[in-house]
Structure 1
Amino acid sequence: MNLADSATRPGHSILAVDDDAKILKITEMILEKEGYSVNLAQTGQQALQVLQESKIDLILLDVMLPDADGYSLCKSIKAKEETRDIPVVLLTALDGIDNKVRGLDVGACDYLVKPFSQKELLARIRSHLRERDFANEIKTLYDIEKRRAHELLILNKLSTEFNKLLDLDELLNHAARIISTELNFYGCLIAVPDTENRGLQIKAYYHSQNRGGSDPRTLRANEGVLGWVSSNRKPIIVPDVDKETRFSPYFPDTKSEMAVPLVHQDRIVGGLTVESHLPRAYTTDDLNLLSTVAGNLALAVRNAELYSALKLNSESLKSMVEQRTQELQNQKRFMECIIDSLPIGIYVIDTNYSVVTWNKKRETGILGISRDCVIGRNIFSVFSKMGRERLKSEFDQVFSTGSPFETETVSWSSGEKRHYHLRKIPMSLQGNLITHVITLGEDISDRKRMEESLLTNEKLASIGKLSAGIAHEINNPLAAIAGCVEGLISRSSDAELVKVRAFEDFPQYLKIIDDEIGRCKGIIKNLLDFSRSKEILLQDISLNETLEQTLALLGHHQAFKQITVVKELDPACPPIVGNSGELRQVFLAMAINAMDAMNESGTLTIRTGKEIRHGQSYACVQFHDTGIGIPARNLNKIFDPFFTTKPVGKGTGLGLSICYGIVRSHNGFIKVKSEENKGSLFQIYVPAKPTRG
């Protein structure tokens, strides 16, 4: 709106107060010509009467009146709430600053001294009306904003109150009460669809006089204002229930009412109505406010319905959750038992290199670490003695490529040489993203020894076949040579040859050749014995007795007398089934090798006993010397035929090979531990005789 035009718009009403009737008449003519509505008064009493009966926008007030002066009347007008905002222009013949100041002090907005021009009067009127209209508009806007702020405050409070409650009955009763009290409604009624969806059931009401409650009544479709808004999905104002025949008010003293549907996501969840004991009590603004409240309440009703449905199924759901939780826990325990039962060490790390799984195998042994001590720790702090960079690069390779990583390593941490096979396997919990790495560590020391033993057996078997072939091939020419030598020896005693000076050394040469042929025959016999499977006589044998017999044979050996022999023969050493002659050969070779290693000075300890290995009972014989020992590089060769560390002429290299074959034919095995300059330990294991029962 243009405020410049508003000062002369139709409807502005001006009150002219003057005791002079002619002046009033002239003033009336001037103002009406400009389009103003004019009210006239000649006394102060008449002026107050007009103000009481009519809406006045501006007052032209003469200072001199018959029943009161203008100053007093102006002060009286400004003292009243309903007239204090009306602008007052004082008109007087009295000039002077004091009079003007007095007029402004009592509340006048302007002061005109008679005589004044018509133009000045109209200009001042227009100016003051513009100011009044502007002030009114500001006040109107302020009132609107104040109302909106108040409504928002109330809406926020109502929404908060609604959202506090999830029980439907409690929610609706509370809503009916706070809607009435907070919004100053005379009464409030809330209904929701009944369980069979035949109509609306009144769930809550509140009346400023009768307080609140619930009503078991069910409203049919279109019954009452609540039924109407629910069926038509539209809000409605009934300004006068006495003139509206379609609806019957719930409360008997109701004169007007308005109602809105409760709608959530295009679904009717109920209806809300408020009632007043005054006709035409509600405006469109009130309806808009109630519609907003209804939107919040509809959401709260829907939440309460969902909560109620959830509550009905909660016990079943709780039981299902508990059952599923128990199943998952059982499954988790089962998987943990599987992992803990595996004979290999397993641990799992995440992308932060933190340990998340550590199985029981990794808790056992000399190097075992308790699970509680490692879970959550950085793997590099757990394996602080290992090379961090190498270990990290292995993990990073698996994380980046998604491919397993395998390696074998040797460790002396337990005090003995152990072989381990390590595998790092990628694990994904989120699609193709590698989230964990599983490390499997298997002790393959026994397998390595078995492989080495198998290779040794295969090598010995191959050498045996080769030796047999060589022995047969050598035997034929050696037999011819032996025959020739025998003939030459028989002729060497011929008297004629003895006289020949050049032949005098021949008998000695022939004796050397014959001795060496015998030596060759012995080697060939040993080769054939090594390569040939022989039928052996088996009987129950006491290893202690066999050892005593062997030591008795050695008692006459000069070198044996120069060493210290310590016997630790266990009476509980179990009997075996075998050939005592062959075993004496083994024990004799072991003792002689020990004497040679000690250079005829040292201690030989011979022990017997019983050991359980891989679930089987064995009788065990140990030969422990304090000799020069065997270099580590030669340990895997000592059972090879013809391998020897003795000086030339002191051994053929077949002794230990033959011992190995004899023990193997008894289903046993030999283990060796040796260190240079510290001695050697030979351990012979032969299966114990099975016990009956």
Structure 2
Amino acid sequence: MNKHELIDLMTGVKSSKKTYYTELKKTVDQLKKKNMQLEIMNDITKNMNMEIDIQEILRNVIEKLKQLITFDDSHFVILYEEEPALLHICPNGHCELEMDPKNLLHPFQEFSSALKEKQPIQVEVSQLSDFPEKDRLLSLEIESLLLVPLYGKSKKIGIWTFGRKKKKTWHEAELEFLEQLSNQLALTLENAKLYKEVLHSKQEWEDTFKAVEDMIIVFDHKGTVYQSNDSARGFSNLVPLIEKSQNLIHDTFSFNKPGFQEILLQHDTILEMHAYPIQNKEHQVYGVIAYYKNVTERRQMEVQLLHAGKLGAIGEMAAGIAHELNSPLTAILGNSQILLRKISQDNPDYMLLDDIKICGDRCRQIVKSLLTFSRQDEYRFHYYSINEAIHQVLNLLKYQLGKKQISLHLSLQEDLPFIKGSRPQIEQIIINLLLNAKDALDESSQTEKSISITTYSENKFMVVQVTDNGTGIEQERLPFIFHPFHTTKDREKGTGLGLSVSLGIAKDHGGKIDVLSTPGHGSTFFLRLPLLTEEERG
């Protein structure tokens, strides 16, 4: 032993160094252990407020926990719909994480005790009552089981078990850490469940939102679209629809009340719009849900039903009037003809009797037209002359036009072929066009009021052209004149159905109605009906 070694031995320096390094190593080990604990806690905590993979978290926790605490088996018994279920089994750190519904259990005594006590309890595996994993644990020579309760913010979650092959006492520090870890894990599991429920509800709402066939659009406070369903995104007239929705959106924001309006778009599309305010907890409106339903077909059907009822009533009345007039007309015409045969043309009364006969013939023609009109609901297609149909209409309306001092000009092409259709229905179109022309002339300041009717063939169509020199139609109104109930007339003059019904009849015949108009100068309507095909002519 040299001099320095002897001095160290006598002063105790060597012993102090050994103790120092031992304590230092112990402190380092404790710090490593503490860091590992913090790392495990952090793995759980950082995922509390996001969509998490519980399986991955548990796998990481189990692997790291085995470096801190000695255990040979671990699993979870989770309350599933208020019944305990064997949810996660992690023998030797290898987790079987799929829940099998067959594993739903009845509560066993130790499970209930751990949850009731709200603190870890240690039991011998051989003494377990009816725990389904008992045989498996005994086969692995697991002798003791630590049951750590899992409690969330508002309710119990389940228990976390740790098995050991030897009956080794759990240190207080281990139990304290496992309690902290279990509490944090319980909160994470509870948040994960709540998040999945919210996500599921959100997905259900989105699926419903997308599946609705009608259009749904959500607007912000600026009237900007920030969400819409597939039906809305696929709508061809979406831009003009949004533009025409802005006033109601603004009113819904301003008054915090649901609103309704009807929107007319191109191609005779009619939409019903319902707007509902979206409120926060303070009842402040931060958005508007707009629900759009296409009611075009429904409105057309309503118009057809209304028109059918109206025509039925008018037809019944016309038939009644015609039959009532037939009897006196027969007497008038018969007596006038008898008297005309008895006197010579030189007799001063001859002209008077002749006028009576002429007027009687005219009345008989009107009665005949009324009877024809009353039978138009038959809607049967036949071959007919369009010019004859026009003359039939004029027998009904010539007196009304003459009374208004409206001159009538006819330019009917004589060699026009027959066409196929319901003549009474086509006559109804011509009546509507002439009555509209008469009403336009009533409002006109023209000194010479006139209506001209022209017929000709053009590009496989028979054309009936009705022109007046009345007030004309403003350009902005032209797209809407064929919409049901669209009218500028007084209530007693019309319901806005004439042109809508006329267009429907024309379409049923494979035709169409076009219009040209200049405000202050008049309008021209073109009724186009298809000519017969070669097969039909043959």
TM-score between both structures, scaled by the size of structure 2 = 0.45
Larger relative contact order, structure 1 or 2 (CA cutoff 8 Å, min sep 6): 2
TM-score for both structures, normalised by structure 1: 0.36
